[in-house]
């Protein structure tokens, strides 16, 4: 059986503490919360970009929904990139897991995720580990705890690195006949350095804030539940020059 991961979204809020911008966002329906952290809060310049760690802690209470796409967008002056990093491959991750990837190919430390299986209230938990596939692709290894489920998600970088789009294939959204999966939590950080190349970097901070937004696109389910409209969170994280 292949690995399961439904979806996530990165957004932010506006409290700066000791060089770290952190906050919590609740969506309009009041059933999703997000704590996002950008560290450090001080940004770089065009001639001297700065590396950051971008962490998202998301909890979701949306029974009867399944995420198909996750689109993460960073405001002007910030971007994701795999340029200049060593590369891992989907084949290596599937055959050997994260330990098979070369040193220097990580796009961040291992994180966690959880999903509920419906019908019923079965819960799956996962270790998720991001790696660089190429300059414009992150590979996210997904390894379940206690059940033999293992798969890879791709995060495609576009818009000069300001947008990351993750698409969840059907076999992960519907892991078994008659069973749908719904995300309940995720905690992941994207960060890394390779010489003067960075996984998350900045060159500017307009008006002392950077917009970070995330859009969840939902999929049809085996149970025939209505598919909701896209769910978007957009906030401003404090930053400084």
pLDDT digits (tens, 9 = 90+) for 133-149: 999 999 999 888 877 78
Domain that includes residue 138, residue range: 15-238
**Distance, CA of 163 to CA of 165 (rounded, Å):** 6
* 1 is a domain residue: no
* 3 is a domain residue: no
The pTM of this model reads 0.84
pLDDT in tens, 102-134: 999 999 999 998 888 999 888 888 899 999 999
pLDDT in tens, 6-57: 333 322 222 222 344 444 444 444 477 767 778 999 999 999 999 999 987 7
* 20 is a domain residue: yes
* 156 is a domain residue: yes
Which pLDDT belongs to residue 16?
29
Return mean pLDDT, the chain.
82
**Distance, CA of 56 to CA of 8 (rounded, Å):** 9
* 32 is a domain residue: yes
Which pLDDT belongs to residue 18?
32
* 5 is a domain residue: no
pLDDT in tens, 199-232: 999 999 888 888 877 777 888 999 999 999 888 7
* 9 is a domain residue: no
* 8 is a domain residue: no
Number of domains in the chain: 1
């Amino acid at each position: 059986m292949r690995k399961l991961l439904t979806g996530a979204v990165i957004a932010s809020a506006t409290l700066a503490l000791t060089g770290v911008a952190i906050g919590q966002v609740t969506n309009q329906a009041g059933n999703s919360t997000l704590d996002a952290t950008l560290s450090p809060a001080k940004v770089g310049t065009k001639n001297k970009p700065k590396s950051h760690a971008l962490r998202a802690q998301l909890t979701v209470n949306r029974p009867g929904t399944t995420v198909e796409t996750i689109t993460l967008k960073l405001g002007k002056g910030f971007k994701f990139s795999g340029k200049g990093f060593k590369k891992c491959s989907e084949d290596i991750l599937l055959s050997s897991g994260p330990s098979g990837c070369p040193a220097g190919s990580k796009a961040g430390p291992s994180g966690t995720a959880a999903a509920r299986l419906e019908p019923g209230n079965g819960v799956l938990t996962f270790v998720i580990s991001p790696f660089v596939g190429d300059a414009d692709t992150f590979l996210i290894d997904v390894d379940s705890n206690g059940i033999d489920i293992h798969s890879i998600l791709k995060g495609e970088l576009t818009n000069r690195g300001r947008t990351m789009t993750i698409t969840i294939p059907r076999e992960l959204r519907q892991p078994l006949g008659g069973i749908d999966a719904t995300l309940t939590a995720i905690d992941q950080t994207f960060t890394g350095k390779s010489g003067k190349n960075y996984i998350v970097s900045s060159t500017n901070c307009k008006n002392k804030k950077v917009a970070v937004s995330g859009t969840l696109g939902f999929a049809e389910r085996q149970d025939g539940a209505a598919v909701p409209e896209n769910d978007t969170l957009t906030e401003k994280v404090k930053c400084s020059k």
